[in-house]
Amino acid sequence: MGKGLLRSIVGYGRKVYDLGRRLAGARDKREEPATSSEEVAAAIFFGGLLRIRSFNALEPKLREKTFLRLVGAPESRKKLCSADTLSRALRKMVIDSVRSITVGMLQQAERNKVFREGWVGAMRYVAIDGWEPICSYNRHCENCLIRMVDARRRDGTVEKVPQYYHRYVVAMLIDERLDLAVDIEPLLPSDLRPDGGTKDDEDEGELTAAKRLLRRVKKTYPWVDVVVADGLYPNGPFLTLVTELRMGAVIIIRKEGNEPLREALAIWGDAPAEQTFVDDKARERIELWDCPGIETLTSYNGPIRVVRGRVSDLRKPEEPPHTWCMVVIGKAMKLSATQVVRVGRGRWHIENTGFNQWTQYWKFCHVFVHDGNGILALYWLFFAAYNLLTLFLYMQLRSYGRDRGKDVTRTISRLVDEMCDDLVRLTRSPWDTS
């Protein structure tokens, strides 16, 4: 790429996703700011793209000509602003205005038929999961959730102390090639709950926030077909919501005593697998049991299918097989048992490509600004940067592999290093198309 990777990515964002106009849509509630919301949004977006570690690390860049060119500030500007200004603006950022950047890009990608092929069974999947990037004993804000935890005193005795944290439910579009951040919803502390709780009530649970999130996901992206989840989610109220939204679900169920798994296990008993599938490429043997019409869950009015897959690694015959059980409803009913297992196992994308990468490489867990609104605004801008990089990687640089390997994170790290090198040599703004 003769013109440099950084310039190529900005050009791709500008041409394909209208990035400039979208960043210009950012709004915050400061009065007569010297640095516009758009410049703040661009600084955080590019800080995210270049994986800045902290606002301290970003501070000197805000005075560098090359960074000013990158964010599209006029050549006459000597300095963008201080890191304090960024943090103040984030606290006052209108969340919808930064959420729109990511949403607009994804809707454009859908119109560009990026998701046309879909994933398993040609459907589009979002995984949802709880995520707790921020946790502290001393710093807190009014959006912090609070729990009491054991802390050991110097004399060895244990006392209960408050721990402050921010927890979210995240929705990620998962696919063979690309995993994209689509939405995020905070769990609210007791007194900020939409049902009008007080300080004495409980903080909101993950399921409550997840239901709010799923409704919004379906409204924003009507083309999403199936939700994939784990842990908390195979329960009546959640399955009812999925049905109400005319979606499908594939949800991992682990507790053998819980319905509908208990019923399925009773039906299967010790019966041998109904089907065995050997995946030569993955070197796996998958034994399958499939129970299509269970109705024992009193809080859900409809048939539930339960699929069990017992996966043996043919390269390690001495190891015990791993068993997966999945609850399936709605649109996902049309998948074969093998496909159901594949989707359920694909859920790791949200932890692996999403949370682990965001924590390890994108510094989402660094507290750039300790304020509920500020954190969320920053995440939305980082999501836009993460999605643009992901789309660029898979749509433009196909040589980096449609077959995602284990090194995809290393590939991305290399790209980021290359972009940082390009920044130093940026003699002309990548937004200047004259």
Q: Is 141 in the site for Zn ion (CB under 5 A)?
A: yes
What is the distance between the terminal CA atoms of the chain, rounded to a whole angstrom? 20
Q: Identify each DSSP E strand in 5-80 by its residue range.
A: none
What's the CA gap between 153 and 157, in Å, rounded? 5
Fill in the amino acid letter for 171.
A
**Count of Cβ atoms closer than 10 Å to residue 190 Cβ:** 15
- Interacting stretch for Zn ion, rule CB under 5 A, among 74-82, 138-146, 168-176, 323-331? 138-146
Contact window for Zn ion (CB under 5 A) among 32-40, 71-79, 134-142, 178-186: 134-142
Buried b (16+ CB within 10 A) or exposed e, 337-372: bbbbbbbbbbbebbeebbbebbeeebbbeebbbbbb
Establish if 187 lies at the interface with Zn ion (CB under 5 A).
no
CB of 137 to Zn ion, least distance (A): 12
Cβ closer to Zn ion: 109 or 376? 376
Give whichever of 141 and 217 is closer to Zn ion, judged by the CB atom: 141
Sketch the per residue contact string, 91 through 130, with Zn ion: x for CB under 5 A, - otherwise.
----------------------------------------
Tokens matching residue 196 = 């009008």
Residue with token string 């690694």: 313
Q: How would DSSP label each residue in 34-53?
A: SS-HHHHHHHHHHHHHTT--
Looking at residue 339, its amino acid is Q
Minimum CB distance to Zn ion, residue 166 (Å): 6
Binding string, residues 143-172; x marks residues near Zn ion by CB under 5 A: -x----------------------------
- Size of the residue set binding Zn ion (CB under 5 A): 2
* Pick 133 or 330: Cβ nearer Zn ion: 133
The SS3 assignment for 234 reads coil
Which stretch in 64-72, 133-141, 191-199, 320-328 sits in contact with Zn ion by CB under 5 A? 133-141
Nearest 5°: CA angle at 193, between 190 and 196? 95
Q: Based on CB atoms, which residue is closest to Zn ion, 75 or 202? A: 202
Nearer to Zn ion, 141 or 327 (CB): 141
Residues that bind Zn ion (CB under 5 A): 141, 144
